[in-house]
Amino acid sequence: MRPALLACFLLFTAPAWSWNDAATTDRDRPLIEAMYTLGVNYVLGGRSPEIGFDCSGLVMHVFERAWGLLLPAGTQALSKVGRPVARVKELAPGDLVFYNTRNRPNSHVGIYLGDGRFVHAPSSGKHVRTDKLDATFWKKHFSEARRPAA
């Protein structure tokens, strides 16, 4: 089952499922945590589902819940985490994808889900959602990608 589909399935079967399930791997955990955040409101500086998320707060929350990994705040600090991914075609689920949305590289971040999609907290008045990497806006504004260590 594809990771994004697995995460959707788990959203509806969560009470019967645990991290010890043999069908999931450590690399799946951020994807599953990210799917739990879909629909949460965007809030500047937000770092929790109860309050809301901004883009870096979403990433921090997901990786802390999934791996216990305490990531730095802000997109610029996050852009130094892990190792670079050289090409978009080499992206793996759980990689961080960065965009130039404010006339500076790495001003926005999301989490790659696989199948050409990523999850992110887009901007004020919106909510956590998935988008396609190859959508015109995102393709035009792509900065780089990084692979955090599990």
Known active-site residue 141 = no
Active site residue 55: yes
Return contacts of 79-85, CB within 8 angstroms, 24+ apart: 79/105, 79/106, 79/109, 79/143, 79/144, 79/146, 81/146, 81/148, 82/146, 82/147, 82/148, 82/149, 83/146, 83/147, 83/149, 84/144, 84/145, 84/146, 84/147, 85/144, 85/145, 85/146, 85/147
29-36 vs 3-13: helix axis angle to the nearest 10? 60
Instruction: Give me the catalytic one of 8, 61, 108, 127.
Output: 108
From 8, 55, 61, 127, the catalytic residue: 55
Of 8, 61, 120, 141, the active-site residue reads: 120
Give strand pairing partners of 144: 98
Active-site residues: which are they?
55, 108, 120
